[in-house]
Chain A
Amino acid sequence: DAKTTQPNSMESNEEEPVHLPCNHSTISGTDYIHWYRQLPSQGPEYVIHGLTSNVNNRMASLAIAEDRKSSTLILHRATLRDAAVYYCILRDQGGSEKLVFGKGTKLTVNP
């Protein structure tokens, strides 16, 4: 079973910020938080990952709660091309490589 839970769907308007939540209450100390997204009819693509500190890259920002039991992917200005399914997964640096994806959050961006 997936170790993360996400809302099934979210909506946003173009050029507005989007905050996509992920709960991972059973996270262990060696779990990294990874985010991927899947555009329609494509394979998933990597977005961002982090361990404890907030992270920024050209695609998005990742805000990690102090207790690490939740995280939020932030798209600062949503575009129509950001409409996709977003997946949050945990990758254990010290344990199994059995990487399980949940159902993700389907993001709809309105023009």
Chain B
Amino acid sequence: NAGVTQTPKFRILKIGQSMTLQCTQDMNHNYMYWYRQDPGMGLKLIYYSVGAGITDKGEVPNGYNVSRSTTEDFPLRLELAAPSQTSVYFCASSRPRDRRSSSPLHFGNGTRLTVT
């Protein structure tokens, strides 16, 4: 199984450029998440989605946009790249919650983004 696939693996952007980080999962998971991880730091939640057509802000949403038109895909858009957005971006997915059990998050391998 492919699991959670992120593309590209690496990208260098100039200040003010825009790009979309792609994330797709083949596990039919309803829940999907975007995190960023700055060097030597923990994970910060950017946006999350509990299903197609539903998205919510996380801890650090400014400067990013997301959409969720299908169950499989959850792209993250940077409109005007800034040096502060230099980071490693991780996408994750999970089965929905139910009151009898909990489900783990499955993470992709990340996209390393540098903005100069």
Give chain A's interface residues, CB within 8 Å of chain B: 2, 30, 32, 34, 36, 42-46, 49, 51, 85, 87, 91, 93-94, 97-104
- Known contacts A45-B107, A91-B102, A97-B48; decide if A102 and B42 are in contact (CB<8 Å): yes
Q: Least Cβ distance of A101 to chain B in Å? A: 4
What is the interface size of chain B, counting residues whose CB is below 8 A from a CB of the partner? 26
* Complexed CA–CA distance, A8 and B63 (Å): 29
Known A44-B90, A46-B104; contact A94-B99, beta-carbon cutoff 8 A:
yes
The reply to whether B108 and A43 form a contact with Cβ atoms under 8 Å apart is yes
> Contacts A43-B109, A100-B59, A103-B41 given: A49-B102 contact, CB under 8 Å?
yes
24 pairs across A/B with beta carbons < 8 Å? Answer: A2-B42, A34-B104, A34-B105, A43-B109, A46-B104, A49-B102, A51-B102, A85-B42, A87-B42, A93-B98, A94-B97, A97-B31, A97-B33, A97-B48, A98-B45, A98-B48, A98-B59, A99-B45, A99-B48, A101-B43, A101-B44, A102-B42, A103-B41, A104-B42
**Residues of chain B with a CB closer than 8 A to A97's CB:** 31, 33, 48, 50, 56, 97
State whether A100 and B45 are in contact (beta carbons under 8 Å apart), knowing that A43-B90, A46-B104 are contacts in the complex: yes
**Cα distance A44–B92 in the bound complex, in angstroms:** 9
B38: min CB distance to chain A, Å:
11
Contact B97 A93 (CB under 8 A): yes
Q: How far is the CB of A30 from chain B (nearest CB, A)?
A: 8
Residue of chain B at shortest CB distance from A30: B99
What's the nearest-Cβ distance from chain B to residue A4, in Å?
11
Determine whether the beta carbon of A42 is less than 8 Å from that of B109. Answer: yes
Q: Which of B43, B50, B99, B105: most chain A CB closer than 10 A?
A: B43
Q: Is the CB of B106 within 8 A of A46?
A: yes
In the complex, how many angstroms separate the beta carbon of B52 from the nearest chain A beta carbon?
15
Is the C-beta of B75 less than 8 angstroms from some C-beta in chain A?
no
Q: Tell me whether B107 and A43 are in contact (CB under 8 A).
A: yes
Do B41 and A32 touch across chains, with their CB atoms under 8 A apart?
no
| Chain B residues near A98 (CB-CB < 8 A) | 45, 48, 56, 58-59
A93→B99 contact, CB < 8 A: yes
